[in-house]
Structure 1
């Protein structure tokens, strides 16, 4: 079937996991989804399938489990859609979701992406065990002001912009006390709302610097190919053009911020009018709905939404 015109496949990151998130996929699309989960189980040496079907919310929330679980579930949805002819024009992923995007672009093999994110999760969990970190979403202030607030805090702590998700929503990350101090100042400056995120590690800030070299060595163990489909990196907001650039950006992603506003801006410049979130979440489709007037935006996080999307191919 011909390419889906002007569509962007968006793959969600950590936080989109939930108990039973793959149950409907394996029940209704056992062959397509089963292939992906069988690959994941072999790559990991344990039954990720069982965890994604019947694991508790607590089990699935552990960073080292959540990351491969989200990637596998997203890949399973992609497999189901691809069998019916879904062919995106571009792909992208929010942080962790970039691994799924690289599989979609044939840069990484599915089993390699799942193995990498398992190790990524283990290393991130190690940082969390050492440092009492936190992340918080700040609504209603420009990212430039939040950067100024963070830069003015005492040097004995860390608070940095982690995600620039939309014009009025920025996530900060760092040490718990310093993040709390930054949010108090943000409220004083007129932030509409502050939400502490329920996360297991302070992602996308300099606290992750200590694991960069170790993870880079892990990345070097895997084969990367040049993208067969344009991939917009959440690190730069620009297309990835080579295998080595893809590898390097996955390293940079650990401590660097997610530039989601730039990702969607680049997608619009490429003429994208159809935005499809592929995986267990709905955050990215919500962001696209609010940021892009008149766009077609769809998600795939449950049986009804997947079935509706399949009707269009």
Structure 2
């Protein structure tokens, strides 16, 4: 069966994530220790014990989610002799998950990935003063309808589609006043629900340009190798292998839209029969079922998941 490995984004974090993996497998503990050392921060303690509001801070959530994904990957490799290049045709990740995907595929070292995501989280947080930006989920409108709502609500401010997650699930991002207008307008246009999201900044919109500039500089200072399998990139929803092209796409991703619906459809079109979600939560598996019902899903985030997945290979 042709597989793609997918890696979750912000919102999948939870206090206690990775704890069972660390307790069960030395390989997982090694990953958490490497990340702690790279950041000069006891991130694994925060992941294990909380508090939740500190873990949810963008600069902590991003490297923490990557750490859990990479711990699960390292366990597959050490416990099951698993090699990504032999068992998967593609990798993809949702927003920050794209960095986890690239770490899994060997483009970045684990330490570089942790530092890049710390920088990314801090830069995204600083890009827009708290309270000036917002994001909203629009459910029940198709992508073109939701995009039209964003354009109509902008009125000279920034308001754009940030995540095209699944049919009828689009996230808008921009200045708070414009997003507030978009919520009202979406309801008028027949959305089942339109609601503000509890986020600290307006991700994946033009207001994030200062963060994109910061990432261009940070990415310019790290060594990047070609991934062992192609990455399906967020901003193009198509496969890429060239490190320089990946670098550009990661910068564009900060202000660009996460084309997740199209990415999963692309994978289905390439004959992928199973999406394996590696890390915390099952958000991407849920979205996949709505995008391409024919694709099987599997999760690798706990010791039981690891055992079941390796048995099924």
State the TM-score, normalizing by the size of structure 2: 0.94
Aligned alpha-carbon RMSD (Å)? 1.5
Q: Secondary structure at 2:312's aligned position in 1?
A: coil
Q: Secondary structure at the match of 2:95?
A: coil
Counterpart secondary structure, 2:38? helix
Partner of 1:109: 109
Corresponding residue for residue 235 of structure 1: 235
Q: What is residue 94 of structure 2 aligned with on the other side?
A: 94
1:116-265 correspondence to structure 2 within 5 Å: 116-129=116-129, 132-265=132-265
TM-superposed CA distance for 1:123, in Å, is 0.5
Residue 61 (structure 1) aligns with: 56
Distance 1:266 1:245 in 2: 19
Q: Is the 8 A contact 1:139 1:193 kept in 2?
A: yes
- Structure 1 window deviating more from structure 2 (192-201 vs 147-156): it is 147-156
Partner of 1:32: 27
Residue aligned with 2:6, SS = strand
* Structure 1: distance between partners of 2:170 and 2:258: 10
Distance 1:174 1:114, change over 3 A: same
Q: Distance in 2 between matches of 1:239 and 1:295?
A: 18
Identify if the C-alpha distance between structure 1 residues 121 and 73 changes in structure 2 by more than 3 Å, giving closer, same or farther: same
Q: Secondary structure at the match of 1:253?
A: helix
Give yes or no for contact 1:128–1:200 (8 Å, CA) kept in 2: no
The 2-side partners of 1:308 and 1:228 are apart by: 24
Note if contact 1:235-1:258 (Cα within 8 Å) is conserved in structure 2.
Answer: yes
For residues 279 and 154 of structure 2, the distance between their equivalents in structure 1, rounded to whole angstroms, comes to 39
Q: Deviations over 1:174-204 (max 9, x none)?
A: 1122111101111111101123222111100
1:47 paired to 2:33? no
Residues 120-141 of structure 1: CA deviation (Å, up to 9, x unaligned): 0011111243552111111111
The C-alpha deviation readout for 1:130-183, integer Å capped at 9, x for no partner, is: 552111111111111222222223444221100001121110011122111101
8 Å CA contact retained: 2:130, 2:200 = no
Aligned-partner SS, 1:152: helix
Give unpaired runs (5+ residues) of structure 1.
none
Moved more, 47-56 or 91-100: 47-56
SS at match of 2:129: helix
Shift of 1:20: 1.1
Determine the structure 2 residue equivalent to 1:6: 2
Counterpart of 2:17 (choices 21, 24, 28) is 21
Q: Distance in 1 between matches of 2:154 and 2:216?
A: 30
Distance 1:7 1:33 in 2: 23
Question: 1:79 is matched with which residue: 74, 79, 82?
Answer: 74
Q: 1:70 aligns with which of 50, 61, 65?
A: 65
Cα gap change, 1:296 to 1:219, in 2 (>3 Å): same
Does the CA-based 8 Å contact 1:275-1:298 persist in structure 2?
yes
